[in-house]
Structure 1
Amino acid sequence: MNPAESVRRRVGATIFHRVAGDEGPQRRDRIHRTEGPRRYGPDSAIHRVHSDASMFVGGLRALLLQSLHPLAMAAVDAHSGYRGDPWGRLQRTSTFLAETTFGTIEDADRAIAVVRAVHERVRGTTRDGRPYAASDPHLIRWVHVAEIDSFLRAHDRYGAKPLDAAGRDAYVAETAYVARALGAEQVPETVAELDEVMASYRSELAGTPEARAAARFILVHPPVPLALRAPYTLMSAAAIGLMPRWTRWPLRLPYLPVTEATAVRASGELVTAGIRWAIRP
Protein backbone atom coordinates (compact mmCIF):
# COMPACT_ATOMS: atom_id res chain seq x y z
CA MET A 1 0.00 0.00 0.00
CA ASN A 2 1.43 3.39 -0.96
CA PRO A 3 1.88 6.09 1.73
CA ALA A 4 -0.96 8.28 0.44
CA GLU A 5 -3.43 5.40 0.55
CA SER A 6 -2.26 4.50 4.06
CA VAL A 7 -2.88 8.08 5.24
CA ARG A 8 -6.28 8.15 3.54
CA ARG A 9 -7.38 4.97 5.29
CA ARG A 10 -6.18 6.17 8.70
CA VAL A 11 -7.95 9.52 8.35
CA GLY A 12 -11.08 7.85 7.01
CA ALA A 13 -11.12 5.37 9.86
CA THR A 14 -10.76 8.18 12.41
CA ILE A 15 -13.66 10.14 10.91
CA PHE A 16 -15.84 7.05 10.64
CA HIS A 17 -15.15 6.03 14.25
CA ARG A 18 -16.10 9.49 15.52
CA VAL A 19 -19.33 9.55 13.57
CA ALA A 20 -20.36 5.90 13.90
CA GLY A 21 -18.77 4.77 17.18
CA ASP A 22 -17.20 1.47 18.21
CA GLU A 23 -20.04 -0.52 16.67
CA GLY A 24 -19.90 1.44 13.42
CA PRO A 25 -18.61 -1.41 11.20
CA GLN A 26 -21.30 -3.80 12.44
CA ARG A 27 -24.02 -1.17 11.98
CA ARG A 28 -22.73 -0.33 8.50
CA ASP A 29 -22.88 -3.96 7.46
CA ARG A 30 -26.37 -4.37 8.89
CA ILE A 31 -27.71 -1.21 7.24
CA HIS A 32 -26.13 -1.66 3.82
CA ARG A 33 -25.85 -5.42 3.43
CA THR A 34 -29.08 -6.77 4.94
CA GLU A 35 -31.29 -8.06 2.17
CA GLY A 36 -34.77 -6.63 1.81
CA PRO A 37 -36.76 -3.88 0.11
CA ARG A 38 -35.63 -0.27 0.57
CA ARG A 39 -37.80 2.83 0.69
CA TYR A 40 -35.34 4.77 -1.51
CA GLY A 41 -33.28 3.58 -4.43
CA PRO A 42 -29.58 4.31 -5.02
CA ASP A 43 -30.46 6.95 -7.63
CA SER A 44 -32.79 8.88 -5.30
CA ALA A 45 -32.15 12.47 -4.30
CA ILE A 46 -32.03 11.52 -0.62
CA HIS A 47 -29.27 8.99 -1.33
CA ARG A 48 -27.24 11.61 -3.16
CA VAL A 49 -27.53 14.20 -0.39
CA HIS A 50 -27.16 11.92 2.64
CA SER A 51 -24.11 10.11 1.27
CA ASP A 52 -22.17 13.28 0.48
CA ALA A 53 -19.44 14.87 2.63
CA SER A 54 -21.42 18.13 2.67
CA MET A 55 -23.58 16.49 5.37
CA PHE A 56 -20.87 17.35 7.89
CA VAL A 57 -21.34 21.06 7.22
CA GLY A 58 -25.10 20.69 7.00
CA GLY A 59 -25.23 18.85 10.30
CA LEU A 60 -23.48 21.66 12.17
CA ARG A 61 -25.76 24.25 10.57
CA ALA A 62 -28.81 22.17 11.52
CA LEU A 63 -27.77 22.07 15.17
CA LEU A 64 -27.28 25.83 15.27
CA LEU A 65 -30.55 26.55 13.48
CA GLN A 66 -32.62 24.08 15.53
CA SER A 67 -31.36 25.64 18.77
CA LEU A 68 -33.22 28.87 17.98
CA HIS A 69 -36.59 27.37 18.89
CA PRO A 70 -36.81 27.83 22.69
CA LEU A 71 -39.02 24.78 23.26
CA ALA A 72 -36.91 22.48 21.10
CA MET A 73 -33.71 23.80 22.68
CA ALA A 74 -35.09 23.34 26.20
CA ALA A 75 -35.80 19.69 25.40
CA VAL A 76 -32.30 19.17 23.99
CA ASP A 77 -30.67 20.98 26.90
CA ALA A 78 -32.50 18.98 29.56
CA HIS A 79 -32.71 15.54 27.99
CA SER A 80 -30.20 14.90 25.19
CA GLY A 81 -26.97 14.78 27.20
CA TYR A 82 -25.12 16.56 24.39
CA ARG A 83 -22.55 18.06 26.77
CA GLY A 84 -21.80 14.88 28.66
CA ASP A 85 -21.86 12.54 25.66
CA PRO A 86 -21.69 14.61 22.45
CA TRP A 87 -20.15 11.85 20.37
CA GLY A 88 -22.76 9.37 21.55
CA ARG A 89 -25.51 11.76 20.47
CA LEU A 90 -23.84 12.26 17.08
CA GLN A 91 -23.50 8.52 16.63
CA ARG A 92 -27.16 7.90 17.46
CA THR A 93 -28.25 10.63 15.05
CA SER A 94 -26.01 9.43 12.22
CA THR A 95 -27.20 5.85 12.72
CA PHE A 96 -30.84 6.97 12.54
CA LEU A 97 -30.19 8.91 9.32
CA ALA A 98 -28.40 5.93 7.79
CA GLU A 99 -31.11 3.46 8.82
CA THR A 100 -33.95 5.57 7.48
CA THR A 101 -32.12 6.47 4.25
CA PHE A 102 -30.17 3.35 3.29
CA GLY A 103 -31.61 0.54 5.42
CA THR A 104 -34.38 -1.91 4.69
CA ILE A 105 -37.93 -0.70 5.21
CA GLU A 106 -38.18 -3.01 8.22
CA ASP A 107 -35.05 -1.58 9.86
CA ALA A 108 -36.05 2.00 9.04
CA ASP A 109 -39.51 1.60 10.55
CA ARG A 110 -38.05 -0.03 13.64
CA ALA A 111 -35.67 2.93 14.09
CA ILE A 112 -38.57 5.37 13.73
CA ALA A 113 -40.59 3.48 16.36
CA VAL A 114 -37.67 3.66 18.80
CA VAL A 115 -37.34 7.44 18.36
CA ARG A 116 -41.08 7.93 18.77
CA ALA A 117 -40.98 6.00 22.04
CA VAL A 118 -38.13 8.20 23.28
CA HIS A 119 -40.02 11.35 22.29
CA GLU A 120 -43.00 10.29 24.39
CA ARG A 121 -40.82 10.44 27.52
CA VAL A 122 -39.25 13.84 26.84
CA ARG A 123 -41.36 16.48 28.54
CA GLY A 124 -40.66 19.48 30.71
CA THR A 125 -40.95 23.20 31.23
CA THR A 126 -38.77 26.03 29.97
CA ARG A 127 -37.18 28.50 32.38
CA ASP A 128 -40.02 30.94 31.64
CA GLY A 129 -42.68 28.37 32.47
CA ARG A 130 -43.76 27.12 29.03
CA PRO A 131 -44.40 23.37 28.75
CA TYR A 132 -42.77 21.37 25.98
CA ALA A 133 -43.00 17.81 24.68
CA ALA A 134 -40.70 16.20 22.12
CA SER A 135 -43.76 14.44 20.68
CA ASP A 136 -45.39 17.79 19.77
CA PRO A 137 -46.02 17.64 15.97
CA HIS A 138 -45.18 21.34 15.67
CA LEU A 139 -41.73 20.87 17.25
CA ILE A 140 -41.07 17.70 15.27
CA ARG A 141 -41.79 19.63 12.09
CA TRP A 142 -39.40 22.43 13.14
CA VAL A 143 -36.57 19.99 13.81
CA HIS A 144 -37.26 18.33 10.46
CA VAL A 145 -37.40 21.46 8.31
CA ALA A 146 -34.35 23.02 9.98
CA GLU A 147 -32.47 19.81 9.32
CA ILE A 148 -33.40 19.25 5.68
CA ASP A 149 -33.02 22.94 4.87
CA SER A 150 -29.49 22.72 6.27
CA PHE A 151 -28.60 19.48 4.49
CA LEU A 152 -29.95 20.79 1.19
CA ARG A 153 -28.22 24.17 1.39
CA ALA A 154 -24.92 22.54 2.35
CA HIS A 155 -25.28 20.15 -0.57
CA ASP A 156 -26.08 23.04 -2.92
CA ARG A 157 -22.89 24.78 -1.83
CA TYR A 158 -20.46 21.95 -1.15
CA GLY A 159 -21.93 18.78 -2.66
CA ALA A 160 -19.98 16.83 -5.26
CA LYS A 161 -22.98 16.78 -7.62
CA PRO A 162 -25.56 19.42 -6.60
CA LEU A 163 -29.17 18.67 -7.47
CA ASP A 164 -31.15 20.52 -10.11
CA ALA A 165 -34.51 22.13 -9.26
CA ALA A 166 -36.46 18.90 -9.76
CA GLY A 167 -33.94 16.99 -7.67
CA ARG A 168 -34.17 19.51 -4.85
CA ASP A 169 -37.96 19.15 -4.79
CA ALA A 170 -37.57 15.37 -4.86
CA TYR A 171 -35.25 15.53 -1.84
CA VAL A 172 -37.77 17.53 0.18
CA ALA A 173 -40.57 15.11 -0.79
CA GLU A 174 -38.52 12.00 0.01
CA THR A 175 -37.51 13.25 3.46
CA ALA A 176 -41.14 14.02 4.32
CA TYR A 177 -41.94 10.36 5.00
CA VAL A 178 -39.78 10.08 8.10
CA ALA A 179 -41.04 13.40 9.47
CA ARG A 180 -44.65 12.24 9.17
CA ALA A 181 -43.80 8.85 10.63
CA LEU A 182 -42.27 10.63 13.64
CA GLY A 183 -45.50 12.59 14.13
CA ALA A 184 -45.04 15.83 12.18
CA GLU A 185 -47.99 17.35 10.35
CA GLN A 186 -48.26 19.56 7.25
CA VAL A 187 -44.77 18.53 6.17
CA PRO A 188 -43.40 20.36 3.09
CA GLU A 189 -42.82 18.38 -0.11
CA THR A 190 -41.24 21.05 -2.33
CA VAL A 191 -38.52 23.64 -1.83
CA ALA A 192 -41.12 26.41 -2.08
CA GLU A 193 -43.18 24.79 0.66
CA LEU A 194 -40.04 24.30 2.74
CA ASP A 195 -39.23 28.00 2.48
CA GLU A 196 -42.78 28.90 3.51
CA VAL A 197 -42.71 26.61 6.54
CA MET A 198 -39.29 27.89 7.60
CA ALA A 199 -40.56 31.47 7.40
CA SER A 200 -43.67 30.59 9.43
CA TYR A 201 -41.50 29.75 12.46
CA ARG A 202 -39.61 33.06 12.51
CA SER A 203 -41.86 34.66 15.16
CA GLU A 204 -41.24 31.74 17.53
CA LEU A 205 -37.44 31.74 17.33
CA ALA A 206 -35.07 33.41 19.78
CA GLY A 207 -31.50 33.29 20.97
CA THR A 208 -32.00 31.90 24.47
CA PRO A 209 -29.12 31.42 26.93
CA GLU A 210 -29.39 27.68 26.26
CA ALA A 211 -29.09 28.25 22.50
CA ARG A 212 -26.05 30.50 22.88
CA ALA A 213 -24.43 28.00 25.26
CA ALA A 214 -25.00 25.25 22.71
CA ALA A 215 -23.47 27.40 19.96
CA ARG A 216 -20.39 28.05 22.11
CA PHE A 217 -20.08 24.34 22.84
CA ILE A 218 -20.37 23.41 19.17
CA LEU A 219 -18.12 26.14 17.79
CA VAL A 220 -15.70 27.23 20.52
CA HIS A 221 -15.31 24.30 22.91
CA PRO A 222 -16.04 21.16 20.87
CA PRO A 223 -14.73 17.83 22.19
CA VAL A 224 -12.61 17.35 19.08
CA PRO A 225 -9.16 15.69 19.12
CA LEU A 226 -6.27 18.04 18.45
CA ALA A 227 -5.53 16.33 15.13
CA LEU A 228 -9.03 17.17 13.87
CA ARG A 229 -9.33 20.67 15.34
CA ALA A 230 -8.12 22.55 12.23
CA PRO A 231 -10.51 20.86 9.75
CA TYR A 232 -13.32 21.13 12.31
CA THR A 233 -12.72 24.88 12.55
CA LEU A 234 -12.95 25.18 8.75
CA MET A 235 -16.13 23.10 8.77
CA SER A 236 -17.64 25.28 11.52
CA ALA A 237 -16.86 28.44 9.57
CA ALA A 238 -18.54 26.93 6.51
CA ALA A 239 -21.63 26.09 8.58
CA ILE A 240 -21.82 29.62 9.99
CA GLY A 241 -21.44 31.00 6.48
CA LEU A 242 -24.65 29.16 5.48
CA MET A 243 -26.68 30.53 8.41
CA PRO A 244 -29.29 33.19 7.54
CA ARG A 245 -28.22 36.72 8.39
CA TRP A 246 -31.05 37.16 10.91
CA THR A 247 -29.72 34.25 13.02
CA ARG A 248 -26.30 35.75 13.64
CA TRP A 249 -27.01 38.20 16.47
CA PRO A 250 -29.35 35.90 18.47
CA LEU A 251 -26.62 33.25 18.55
CA ARG A 252 -23.74 35.77 18.69
CA LEU A 253 -22.33 34.51 15.41
CA PRO A 254 -20.12 36.72 13.22
CA TYR A 255 -21.39 38.12 9.95
CA LEU A 256 -18.59 38.78 7.47
CA PRO A 257 -20.16 38.63 3.99
CA VAL A 258 -17.01 39.28 1.95
CA THR A 259 -14.93 36.79 3.91
CA GLU A 260 -17.72 34.22 3.82
CA ALA A 261 -18.05 34.55 0.05
CA THR A 262 -14.33 34.06 -0.51
CA ALA A 263 -12.08 32.54 2.16
CA VAL A 264 -14.79 30.70 4.09
CA ARG A 265 -16.30 29.23 0.93
CA ALA A 266 -12.88 28.11 -0.27
CA SER A 267 -12.09 26.52 3.10
CA GLY A 268 -15.48 24.79 3.10
CA GLU A 269 -14.78 23.34 -0.33
CA LEU A 270 -11.35 22.23 0.85
CA VAL A 271 -12.55 20.46 3.99
CA THR A 272 -15.49 18.70 2.30
CA ALA A 273 -13.20 17.57 -0.52
CA GLY A 274 -10.80 16.25 2.11
CA ILE A 275 -13.54 14.32 3.91
CA ARG A 276 -14.83 12.95 0.59
CA TRP A 277 -11.31 11.77 -0.26
CA ALA A 278 -10.83 10.15 3.15
CA ILE A 279 -14.11 8.26 3.43
CA ARG A 280 -14.65 7.13 -0.14
CA PRO A 281 -15.37 3.39 -0.44
Structure 2
Amino acid sequence: MFDDPSIISLPKPLQHRIDSFARSLLQPARAFDFSTPPCEPALVSPESVSWRIFKNPVSVFIGGVAAVLLEFGESRVRDGVWQHSSFRTDPLTRLQRTGLAAMITIYGPRSKAEAMIAGVVRRHDRVTGQTREGEPYHANDPVLLDWVQATAGFGFTEAYHAYVRHLTEDDRRSLFAESAPIARLYGAVGAPASRQELDLLFEAMKPRLAASSIIFELLAIMTRTLILPAPVRPMQKVMLKAAVEILPLWVRERLGLEGQWALNPVERALVRTMAEASDRLVLPSSPAVQSCRRLGLPDDYLYRS
Protein backbone atom coordinates (compact mmCIF):
# COMPACT_ATOMS: atom_id res chain seq x y z
CA MET A 1 0.00 0.00 0.00
CA PHE A 2 2.82 2.39 0.90
CA ASP A 3 6.38 2.38 -0.38
CA ASP A 4 8.01 3.85 2.73
CA PRO A 5 9.46 0.96 4.79
CA SER A 6 8.86 2.92 8.00
CA ILE A 7 5.10 2.51 7.55
CA ILE A 8 3.46 -0.64 8.90
CA SER A 9 1.33 -2.56 6.40
CA LEU A 10 -1.26 -4.94 7.87
CA PRO A 11 -3.71 -7.38 6.25
CA LYS A 12 -6.80 -5.44 5.19
CA PRO A 13 -9.24 -7.15 7.62
CA LEU A 14 -6.99 -6.38 10.60
CA GLN A 15 -6.34 -2.84 9.38
CA HIS A 16 -10.09 -2.30 9.06
CA ARG A 17 -10.77 -3.58 12.59
CA ILE A 18 -8.15 -1.33 14.13
CA ASP A 19 -9.36 1.62 12.09
CA SER A 20 -12.98 1.01 13.13
CA PHE A 21 -12.05 0.77 16.79
CA ALA A 22 -9.97 3.96 16.67
CA ARG A 23 -12.85 5.76 14.97
CA SER A 24 -15.37 4.57 17.58
CA LEU A 25 -13.28 6.09 20.38
CA LEU A 26 -13.92 9.56 18.95
CA GLN A 27 -17.64 9.26 18.25
CA PRO A 28 -19.49 10.13 21.47
CA ALA A 29 -22.70 11.14 19.71
CA ARG A 30 -22.17 11.98 16.05
CA ALA A 31 -19.42 11.76 13.50
CA PHE A 32 -17.18 14.74 12.85
CA ASP A 33 -15.94 14.91 9.29
CA PHE A 34 -12.33 16.13 9.26
CA SER A 35 -12.13 15.80 5.48
CA THR A 36 -14.37 18.81 4.77
CA PRO A 37 -14.61 21.56 3.71
CA PRO A 38 -11.91 21.04 1.09
CA CYS A 39 -8.74 23.10 1.49
CA GLU A 40 -9.76 24.87 4.70
CA PRO A 41 -6.66 25.13 6.91
CA ALA A 42 -6.53 24.11 10.56
CA LEU A 43 -5.40 26.25 13.46
CA VAL A 44 -2.05 24.47 13.17
CA SER A 45 -0.10 23.78 9.98
CA PRO A 46 0.29 20.20 8.68
CA GLU A 47 4.06 20.80 8.70
CA SER A 48 3.90 21.32 12.46
CA VAL A 49 5.28 19.09 15.19
CA SER A 50 1.78 19.04 16.69
CA TRP A 51 0.31 17.30 13.64
CA ARG A 52 2.91 14.54 13.93
CA ILE A 53 2.47 14.07 17.67
CA PHE A 54 -1.32 14.04 17.79
CA LYS A 55 -1.62 11.38 15.09
CA ASN A 56 -0.44 8.77 17.64
CA PRO A 57 -3.44 7.42 19.60
CA VAL A 58 -1.33 5.61 22.20
CA SER A 59 0.82 8.57 23.24
CA VAL A 60 -2.20 10.92 23.06
CA PHE A 61 -4.11 8.67 25.47
CA ILE A 62 -1.16 8.44 27.85
CA GLY A 63 -0.43 12.16 27.62
CA GLY A 64 -4.06 13.05 28.19
CA VAL A 65 -4.21 10.97 31.37
CA ALA A 66 -0.98 12.54 32.63
CA ALA A 67 -2.43 16.00 31.99
CA VAL A 68 -5.61 15.18 33.91
CA LEU A 69 -3.63 13.85 36.87
CA LEU A 70 -1.67 17.09 37.01
CA GLU A 71 -4.86 19.13 36.70
CA PHE A 72 -6.52 17.12 39.48
CA GLY A 73 -3.60 17.86 41.78
CA GLU A 74 -5.01 21.41 41.94
CA SER A 75 -8.16 21.43 44.11
CA ARG A 76 -10.05 24.12 42.18
CA VAL A 77 -9.63 22.33 38.86
CA ARG A 78 -10.29 18.92 40.45
CA ASP A 79 -13.51 19.86 42.20
CA GLY A 80 -14.70 21.97 39.28
CA VAL A 81 -14.48 18.96 36.95
CA TRP A 82 -15.81 16.47 39.49
CA GLN A 83 -18.79 18.58 40.45
CA HIS A 84 -19.77 19.70 36.95
CA SER A 85 -19.10 16.76 34.63
CA SER A 86 -20.52 13.32 33.88
CA PHE A 87 -17.21 11.54 34.39
CA ARG A 88 -18.37 9.42 37.32
CA THR A 89 -21.63 8.34 35.66
CA ASP A 90 -20.60 8.12 31.99
CA PRO A 91 -16.80 8.09 31.81
CA LEU A 92 -16.47 6.69 28.27
CA THR A 93 -18.60 9.43 26.72
CA ARG A 94 -16.68 12.05 28.66
CA LEU A 95 -13.37 10.61 27.45
CA GLN A 96 -14.64 10.49 23.87
CA ARG A 97 -15.75 14.12 23.95
CA THR A 98 -12.46 15.26 25.43
CA GLY A 99 -10.48 13.30 22.85
CA LEU A 100 -12.58 14.61 19.98
CA ALA A 101 -12.14 18.20 21.21
CA ALA A 102 -8.36 17.74 21.20
CA MET A 103 -8.45 16.36 17.64
CA ILE A 104 -10.66 19.20 16.39
CA THR A 105 -8.35 21.74 18.01
CA ILE A 106 -5.32 20.40 16.14
CA TYR A 107 -6.73 18.99 12.90
CA GLY A 108 -10.21 20.43 12.39
CA PRO A 109 -10.93 23.14 9.81
CA ARG A 110 -10.27 26.52 11.37
CA SER A 111 -13.89 27.72 11.33
CA LYS A 112 -15.15 24.61 13.12
CA ALA A 113 -12.26 24.55 15.58
CA GLU A 114 -12.81 28.18 16.54
CA ALA A 115 -16.56 27.58 16.94
CA MET A 116 -15.93 24.52 19.12
CA ILE A 117 -13.47 26.40 21.35
CA ALA A 118 -15.87 29.34 21.70
CA GLY A 119 -18.55 26.90 22.83
CA VAL A 120 -16.21 25.43 25.43
CA VAL A 121 -15.40 28.91 26.74
CA ARG A 122 -19.12 29.75 27.02
CA ARG A 123 -19.86 26.53 28.91
CA HIS A 124 -16.93 27.05 31.23
CA ASP A 125 -18.18 30.53 32.06
CA ARG A 126 -21.12 28.89 33.84
CA VAL A 127 -18.92 26.55 35.87
CA THR A 128 -18.51 28.08 39.33
CA GLY A 129 -18.59 26.72 42.85
CA GLN A 130 -16.55 25.93 45.91
CA THR A 131 -13.99 23.22 46.59
CA ARG A 132 -14.47 20.76 49.42
CA GLU A 133 -12.33 23.09 51.51
CA GLY A 134 -14.59 26.04 50.75
CA GLU A 135 -12.34 27.82 48.24
CA PRO A 136 -14.25 29.46 45.36
CA TYR A 137 -13.46 28.54 41.76
CA HIS A 138 -14.47 29.64 38.28
CA ALA A 139 -13.54 27.51 35.28
CA ASN A 140 -12.56 30.57 33.24
CA ASP A 141 -10.21 31.88 35.92
CA PRO A 142 -7.08 32.79 33.89
CA VAL A 143 -4.81 31.13 36.47
CA LEU A 144 -6.65 27.83 36.13
CA LEU A 145 -6.81 28.12 32.34
CA ASP A 146 -3.05 28.62 32.21
CA TRP A 147 -2.54 25.54 34.38
CA VAL A 148 -4.83 23.36 32.26
CA GLN A 149 -3.11 24.44 29.04
CA ALA A 150 0.33 23.91 30.55
CA THR A 151 -0.51 20.43 31.83
CA ALA A 152 -1.99 19.41 28.50
CA GLY A 153 1.09 20.53 26.62
CA PHE A 154 3.33 18.79 29.14
CA GLY A 155 1.38 15.52 28.96
CA PHE A 156 1.23 15.16 25.20
CA THR A 157 4.84 16.27 24.73
CA GLU A 158 6.35 14.03 27.40
CA ALA A 159 4.30 10.97 26.41
CA TYR A 160 5.52 11.19 22.82
CA HIS A 161 9.09 11.87 23.94
CA ALA A 162 9.13 9.00 26.44
CA TYR A 163 7.41 6.27 24.43
CA VAL A 164 7.56 7.14 20.72
CA ARG A 165 10.44 9.30 19.56
CA HIS A 166 12.98 11.67 21.03
CA LEU A 167 11.95 15.31 20.75
CA THR A 168 14.71 17.84 20.23
CA GLU A 169 14.84 21.27 21.83
CA ASP A 170 13.80 22.72 18.47
CA ASP A 171 10.76 20.41 18.47
CA ARG A 172 9.83 21.58 21.94
CA ARG A 173 10.20 25.24 20.99
CA SER A 174 7.96 24.63 17.98
CA LEU A 175 5.31 22.98 20.15
CA PHE A 176 5.19 25.99 22.48
CA ALA A 177 4.89 28.35 19.50
CA GLU A 178 2.18 26.24 17.87
CA SER A 179 0.11 26.04 21.04
CA ALA A 180 0.23 29.75 21.93
CA PRO A 181 -2.55 30.97 19.57
CA ILE A 182 -4.76 28.06 20.63
CA ALA A 183 -4.18 28.79 24.31
CA ARG A 184 -5.28 32.40 23.75
CA LEU A 185 -8.52 31.22 22.12
CA TYR A 186 -9.27 29.21 25.25
CA GLY A 187 -8.49 32.26 27.39
CA ALA A 188 -5.14 31.01 28.69
CA VAL A 189 -3.32 34.22 27.86
CA GLY A 190 -0.55 33.52 30.36
CA ALA A 191 0.16 29.92 29.42
CA PRO A 192 3.89 29.06 29.35
CA ALA A 193 5.59 29.99 26.09
CA SER A 194 8.85 28.15 26.77
CA ARG A 195 10.27 25.27 28.76
CA GLN A 196 11.70 27.76 31.26
CA GLU A 197 8.28 29.34 31.80
CA LEU A 198 6.75 25.88 32.21
CA ASP A 199 9.31 25.02 34.89
CA LEU A 200 8.54 28.29 36.69
CA LEU A 201 4.80 27.56 36.61
CA PHE A 202 5.33 24.06 38.02
CA GLU A 203 7.43 25.56 40.81
CA ALA A 204 4.76 28.20 41.54
CA MET A 205 1.99 25.56 41.62
CA LYS A 206 3.95 23.18 43.84
CA PRO A 207 2.39 24.40 47.13
CA ARG A 208 -1.12 23.89 45.72
CA LEU A 209 -0.69 20.32 44.48
CA ALA A 210 -1.92 17.67 46.91
CA ALA A 211 -3.16 14.10 47.03
CA SER A 212 -6.91 13.49 46.94
CA SER A 213 -9.23 10.48 47.05
CA ILE A 214 -10.73 11.83 43.81
CA ILE A 215 -7.47 11.15 41.96
CA PHE A 216 -7.59 7.50 42.98
CA GLU A 217 -11.31 7.32 42.16
CA LEU A 218 -10.48 8.69 38.71
CA LEU A 219 -7.82 6.02 38.14
CA ALA A 220 -10.16 3.29 39.39
CA ILE A 221 -12.88 4.42 36.97
CA MET A 222 -10.44 4.51 34.06
CA THR A 223 -9.12 1.06 34.98
CA ARG A 224 -12.54 -0.61 34.87
CA THR A 225 -14.16 1.37 32.04
CA LEU A 226 -14.21 -0.65 28.80
CA ILE A 227 -11.99 1.62 26.73
CA LEU A 228 -9.69 -0.80 24.88
CA PRO A 229 -10.93 -3.86 22.93
CA ALA A 230 -10.91 -7.17 24.81
CA PRO A 231 -7.67 -8.61 23.33
CA VAL A 232 -5.58 -5.70 24.61
CA ARG A 233 -7.64 -4.65 27.63
CA PRO A 234 -4.96 -5.85 30.09
CA MET A 235 -2.84 -3.00 28.68
CA GLN A 236 -5.34 -0.42 29.92
CA LYS A 237 -3.96 -0.19 33.45
CA VAL A 238 -0.43 -0.42 32.05
CA MET A 239 -1.11 2.68 29.96
CA LEU A 240 -2.42 4.47 33.04
CA LYS A 241 0.82 3.55 34.80
CA ALA A 242 2.72 4.89 31.78
CA ALA A 243 0.92 8.21 32.28
CA VAL A 244 1.90 8.32 35.94
CA GLU A 245 5.52 7.54 35.07
CA ILE A 246 6.02 10.65 32.92
CA LEU A 247 4.99 12.94 35.78
CA PRO A 248 7.88 14.60 37.61
CA LEU A 249 9.00 12.49 40.56
CA TRP A 250 8.05 15.17 43.07
CA VAL A 251 4.52 15.29 41.63
CA ARG A 252 4.14 11.52 41.95
CA GLU A 253 5.30 11.69 45.55
CA ARG A 254 3.02 14.61 46.39
CA LEU A 255 -0.05 12.96 44.83
CA GLY A 256 0.71 9.57 46.34
CA LEU A 257 1.12 7.92 42.92
CA GLU A 258 3.80 5.41 43.73
CA GLY A 259 3.91 1.67 44.38
CA GLN A 260 1.27 -0.01 42.22
CA TRP A 261 1.44 2.84 39.69
CA ALA A 262 5.08 2.23 38.73
CA LEU A 263 5.87 0.47 35.45
CA ASN A 264 8.06 -2.59 35.54
CA PRO A 265 10.63 -3.09 32.73
CA VAL A 266 8.39 -5.49 30.76
CA GLU A 267 5.43 -3.13 30.91
CA ARG A 268 7.59 -0.20 29.86
CA ALA A 269 8.83 -2.15 26.83
CA LEU A 270 5.26 -3.12 25.89
CA VAL A 271 4.07 0.48 26.05
CA ARG A 272 6.98 1.66 23.92
CA THR A 273 6.33 -1.10 21.35
CA MET A 274 2.64 -0.16 21.10
CA ALA A 275 3.36 3.55 20.87
CA GLU A 276 6.10 3.18 18.28
CA ALA A 277 3.90 0.89 16.17
CA SER A 278 1.00 3.36 16.38
CA ASP A 279 3.27 6.03 14.96
CA ARG A 280 3.81 3.93 11.83
CA LEU A 281 0.26 2.68 11.25
CA VAL A 282 -1.81 4.74 8.81
CA LEU A 283 -5.48 4.66 9.86
CA PRO A 284 -7.67 5.99 7.01
CA SER A 285 -10.46 7.18 9.33
CA SER A 286 -8.19 9.00 11.76
CA PRO A 287 -8.52 12.79 12.12
CA ALA A 288 -4.91 13.16 10.99
CA VAL A 289 -5.38 11.27 7.72
CA GLN A 290 -8.81 12.79 7.01
CA SER A 291 -7.38 16.26 7.55
CA CYS A 292 -4.51 15.53 5.18
CA ARG A 293 -7.10 14.61 2.56
CA ARG A 294 -8.95 17.88 3.22
CA LEU A 295 -5.78 19.75 2.37
CA GLY A 296 -4.94 17.65 -0.67
CA LEU A 297 -2.09 15.77 1.03
CA PRO A 298 -1.49 12.01 0.71
CA ASP A 299 -2.71 9.67 3.45
CA ASP A 300 0.85 8.83 4.51
CA TYR A 301 2.04 12.46 4.64
CA LEU A 302 2.56 12.46 8.42
CA TYR A 303 4.04 8.96 8.50
CA ARG A 304 6.91 9.30 6.07
CA SER A 305 10.38 8.83 7.57
TM-score (norm 1): 0.87
| 2:95 alignment partner in structure 1 | 90
Q: Does 1:265 align with 2:262?
A: no
> Where do 1:1-281 residues align within 5 Å?
4-21=11-28, 23-24=30-31, 26-30=32-36, 33-53=37-57, 54-159=59-164, 161-218=165-222, 220-224=223-227, 226-255=230-259, 260=263, 262-276=265-279, 280-281=283-284
Instruction: In structure 1, give the amino acid aligned to 2:209.
Output: L
Between 1:202-211 and 1:261-270, the stretch displaced more is 261-270
Q: Give the SS at the match of 1:17.
A: helix
| 2:288 alignment partner in structure 1 | none
Cα distance change of structure 1 residues 280 and 230 upon mapping to structure 2, 3 Å threshold:
same
1:67-111 C-alpha deviation (Å, 9 max, x unpaired)? 111100001101111122222222222222222212222222111
Tell me by how many angstroms 1:211 deviates.
2.5
Quick one: distance in 1 between partners of 2:281 and 2:15? Answer: 5
Higher relative CO (Cα under 8 Å, sequence separation at least 6) belongs to 2
Instruction: In structure 1, give the amino acid aligned to 2:158.
Output: R
1:110-150 C-alpha deviation (Å, 9 max, x unpaired)? 11110100101111111111111101011111111111101
Please state which structure has a larger fraction of its residues in helix: 1
Gaps of 5+ in 1: none
Cα distance change of structure 1 residues 162 and 42 upon mapping to structure 2, 3 Å threshold:
farther
Cα distance change of structure 1 residues 234 and 270 upon mapping to structure 2, 3 Å threshold:
farther
Quick one: distance in 1 between partners of 2:121 and 2:239? Answer: 31
TM-score (norm 2): 0.81
Quick one: distance in 1 between partners of 2:20 and 2:105? Answer: 23
Whether the 8 Å contact between 1:41 and 1:47 is mirrored in structure 2 is yes
Quick one: distance in 2 between partners of 1:184 and 1:70? Answer: 18
Q: Give the SS at the match of 1:20.
A: coil
Cα distance change of structure 1 residues 19 and 162 upon mapping to structure 2, 3 Å threshold:
farther
Whether the 8 Å contact between 2:56 and 2:278 is mirrored in structure 1 is no
Cα distance change of structure 1 residues 279 and 198 upon mapping to structure 2, 3 Å threshold:
farther
Whether the 8 Å contact between 2:55 and 2:279 is mirrored in structure 1 is no
Instruction: State the aligned residue count.
Output: 275
User: What is the aligned-residue identity percentage?
Assistant: 27
Tell me by how many angstroms 1:165 deviates.
0.8
